C-alpha cells in the first residue's frame, strides 16, 4: 500500500508540472505567509489544497536556489566509485573510512557505520549524520569525537541504523577544499549535492531499505540537514538540533556568518546582508519538509538561533503540515540549555526517528 506521504508527493509533482515548473518564481515580500501563493502577475491566492501548496513549495525551492545557486541535473551524476580506506571496530558497529565521487574530480570523504546487530536477509533503515562546525568534521559525530552530546552518528549505528557521516567543506578531510575552483555558487549547494550523493550511496546498498532514510545534524549539520531534505524527497525524517531560526531573528538580523564561502556568499554580494532581500527564509524551509517528518531541538538559551524565532516559524508551518495530513509529524523541543543537544532530547529525537522509519532499536542509547 502506498503511504500518504507518497500520495501527497505525486500530487505535488503533478501540481508542479501543471503550474509550469520552469517559470521563475515570484518574489514573496513576507516569507512567513505560508498559506498564500503568488501567480506570475503577483496576485495572491489562498493555499487550500495540496495542489496549491505544490505551487508555493516550488517557489520556496526556487528561492533557495536563487540564494544558493542551481541544483545540478542529477541524471548527469557519475558512478559513486566508493572506496574503503580503513575500518574500525566500535561498540556495536564497524566504522569504515570511505570516499566516493560527487562529481569529477571531487571525492567526498565520509565515515560509514555498519551496525553489528542486523537481522539477516533484511534491509535496515539508514541515516545521514551531519556534523557541526568543527575541524574534526565527520569525526565529531562519534562518541569519541570530543563533545559528549554530539555522538549521534555512532549512537544511531548502535541502535541498528546504517549511518553515513560525510565531511562538509572545509572541515575534516575536506580542509583543503577550494571553493573558488568548484562549479557551485555556494558551499550550501555543494553540501546539498554531497548529501544527495550520500542518499544515492545508501539507497544502492543491499543492506539498506531505500524507503527508510533520514537525516540528522547539529548546528551547521542542523541547517544542512534541513537544506538537504528540502531538495531530496527521499529523506523521510529530518532532525535539526540548534540549526535554524528565521533570518530576522538570527543574531539580531546580522547575517554576516551566513555569507561565508562555506554557506551562501550571495547573501552579502547580492542581497546586502538584508533579511528582507533574501529570497527564502526558514519559515519556508520547515514547511517545505511537509508531509515528511521534522523534529527540532531548539534550546531556550541558544545564542545563535533565537528560540523566539523558532516558535514563530513553527506556528506558521504547522497549518501546512495539517493541510497535508501530517500534523503529528512536526515536533519541537525547547530544553533549558544553550547551544547543545542534551541526552534527553536525543532520546526523544531517536524515538521520533524510530517511529517514522518503523524501526525497533537493537540498543537503547544514549
Residues 67-106: pLDDT tens digits?
999 999 989 899 999 999 999 999 999 999 999 999 989 9
User: What are the tens digits of pLDDT across the range 163-190?
Assistant: 999 999 999 999 999 999 999 999 999 9
Q: Answer for the pair 305, 297: CB distance below 8 angstroms, yes or no.
A: no
CA atoms within 13 A on the CB side of 323: 23
Greatest alpha-carbon pair distance for the chain in Å reads 60
350 φ/ψ angles, rounded to the nearest 5 degrees: -65, -40
pLDDT given at position 17: 37
Q: Which of 5-19, 53-67, 223-237, 293-307 has the lowest mean pLDDT?
A: 5-19
Is residue 146 pLDDT above 90, yes or no?
Answer: no
Cell triple for residue 305? 538561533
Give 334 or 148, the one with higher predicted confidence.
Answer: 334
With a CB cutoff of 8 Å and minimum separation 6, the contacts of 312 are 32, 246, 249, 283
pLDDT given at position 1: 31
Residue for grid cell 509533482: 13
CA atoms within 13 A on the CB side of 330: 25
**Integer Cα distance of 33 and 362 in angstroms:** 43
Compute how many other C-beta atoms are within 10 angstroms of the C-beta atom of residue 348.
16
**Integer Cα distance of 37 and 27 in angstroms:** 10
With a CB cutoff of 8 Å and minimum separation 6, the contacts of 176 are 170
Residue for grid cell 575534516: 172
If residue 349 lies in a helix (H) or strand (E), which one and from where to where?
helix 343-356
DSSP annotation of 27 reads P
User: What are the tens digits of pLDDT across the range 311-361?
Assistant: 999 999 999 999 999 999 999 999 999 999 999 999 999 999 999 999 999
Compute how many other C-beta atoms are within 10 angstroms of the C-beta atom of residue 92.
18
Q: Give me the sheet containing 235-241, strands edge to edge.
A: 83-89, 93-103, 106-115, 162-166, 124-130, 208-218, 235-241, 293-297, 330-333
Is residue 234 pLDDT above 50, yes or no?
Answer: yes
User: What are the tens digits of pLDDT across the range 10-49?
Assistant: 344 334 434 444 457 899 999 999 999 999 999 999 999 9
DSSP annotation of 39 reads -
Residue for grid cell 539498506: 208
C-alpha closest to that of 201 among 121, 108, 139, 86? 108
Q: What percent of the chain has pLDDT over 70?
A: 92
**Integer Cα distance of 115 and 263 in angstroms:** 32
pLDDT given at position 278: 98
Amino acid at each position: 500500500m502506498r503511504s500518504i506521504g507518497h500520495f501527497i508527493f505525486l500530487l505535488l509533482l503533478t501540481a508542479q508540472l501543471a503550474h509550469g515548473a520552469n517559470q521563475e518564481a515570484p518574489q514573496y515580500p513576507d516569507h512567513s505567509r505560508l498559506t498564500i501563493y503568488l501567480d506570475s502577475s503577483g496576485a495572491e491566492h489562498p493555499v487550500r489544497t495540496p495542489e496549491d501548496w505544490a505551487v508555493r513549495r516550488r517557489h520556496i525551492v526556487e528561492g533557495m536556489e536563487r540564494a544558493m545557486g542551481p541544483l545540478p541535473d542529477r541524471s548527469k551524476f557519475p558512478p559513486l566509485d566508493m572506496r574503503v580506506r580503513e575500518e574500525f571496530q566500535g561498540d556495536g558497529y564497524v566504522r569504515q573510512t570511505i570516499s566516493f565521487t560527487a562529481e569529477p574530480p571531487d571525492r567526498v570523504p565520509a565515515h560509514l557505520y555498519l551496525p553489528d546487530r542486523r537481522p539477516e536477509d533484511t534491509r535496515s533503515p539508514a541515516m545521514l549524520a551531519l556534523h557541526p562546525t568543527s575541524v574534526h568534521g565527520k569525526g565529531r559525530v562519534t562518541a569519541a569525537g570530543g563533545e559528549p552530546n554530539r555522538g549521534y552518528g555512532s549512537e544511531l549505528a548502535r541502535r541498528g541504523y546504517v549511518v553515513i557521516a560525510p565531511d562538509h567543506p572545509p572541515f575534516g578531510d575536506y580542509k583543503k577544499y577550494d571553493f573558488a575552483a568548484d562549479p557551485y555558487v555556494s558551499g550550501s549547494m555543494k553540501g546539498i549535492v554531497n548529501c544527495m550523493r550520500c542518499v544515492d550511496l545508501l539507497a544502492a546498498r543491499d543492506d539498506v531499505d531505500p524507503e527508510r532514510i533520514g537525516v540528522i545534524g547539529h548546528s551547521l549539520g542542523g541547517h544542512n540537514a534541513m537544506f538537504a531534505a528540502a531538495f531530496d524527497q527521499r529523506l523521510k525524517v529530518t532532525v535539526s538540533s540548534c540549526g535554524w531560526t528565521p533570518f530576522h531573528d538570527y543574531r539580531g538580523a546580522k547575517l554576516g556568518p551566513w555569507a561565508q564561502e562555506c554557506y551562501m556568499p550571495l547573501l552579502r554580494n547580492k542581497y546586502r546582508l538584508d533579511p528582507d532581500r533574501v529570497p527564502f527564509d526558514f519559515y519556508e524551509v520547515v514547511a517545505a519538509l511537509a508531509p515528511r517528518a521534522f523534529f527540532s531541538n531548539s534550546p531556550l538559551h541558544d545564542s545563535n538561533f533565537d528560540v523566539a524565532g523558532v516558535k514563530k516559524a513553527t506556528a506558521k508551518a504547522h497549518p501546512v503540515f495539517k493541510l497535508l495530513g501530517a500534523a503529528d509529524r512536526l515536533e519541537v523541543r525547547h530544553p533549558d540549555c544553550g547551544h547543545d543537544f542534551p541526552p534527553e532530547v536525543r532520546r526523544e529525537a531517536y524515538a521520533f526517528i524510530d517511529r517514522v522509519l518503523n524501526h525497533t532499536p537493537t540498543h537503547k542509547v544514549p
